[in-house]
Amino acid sequence: MFYLPQPRTSLLFDLDSSVLTLYGKFIEGAEVGYNPHKRGARSYHPLLCFEYHSQRLLAWSLKTWKRYTSLGAPEFFKECLRKVPPGIYRIRVRADSGFFDHNLSSLWIKRGLAMPS
């Protein structure tokens, strides 16, 4: 009578960066950087990895504005892959342009990950 959900066999990762505005005078590691809503405010530059279907946050990392998004992205993505449950045979990745560099692309190719069109 009832259909039980079948276990997932594929995942879709959404990688993105964001702006986390901070308030106060003594905030460790916060810097003035790109912040379209609060220009000149100190903020963090977090990297986020969501699984599209479940809307779960798999991994996150706080960065400062002195580092471009793609710096450290391969290590961040490896952290995302460590959270993949067994039985997954396909992983697809969507990311904004800040994540695209040679090191991360070669990691995706080496692991045989698909990028949706």
How does pLDDT run across 51-108, given as a tens digit for each residue?
998 888 888 887 765 667 777 888 888 898 888 888 888 888 888 888 888 888 888 8
Decide: helix, strand or coil at residue 49. Answer: strand
Domain count, the chain: 1
For residue 3, is it within any domain? no
Q: Which residue has the higher pLDDT, 56 or 116?
A: 56
For residue 76, is it within any domain? yes
Q: What global pTM score does this model have? A: 0.73
What's the mean pLDDT when you consider all of the chain? 78
| pLDDT of 2 strictly over 60 | no
The boundaries of the domain holding residue 83 are: 10-18+45-58+67-111
For residue 98, is it within any domain? yes
Cβ-based neighbours of 21, under 8 Å, separated by 6 or more: 35, 37, 38, 41, 42, 43
For residue 96, is it within any domain? yes
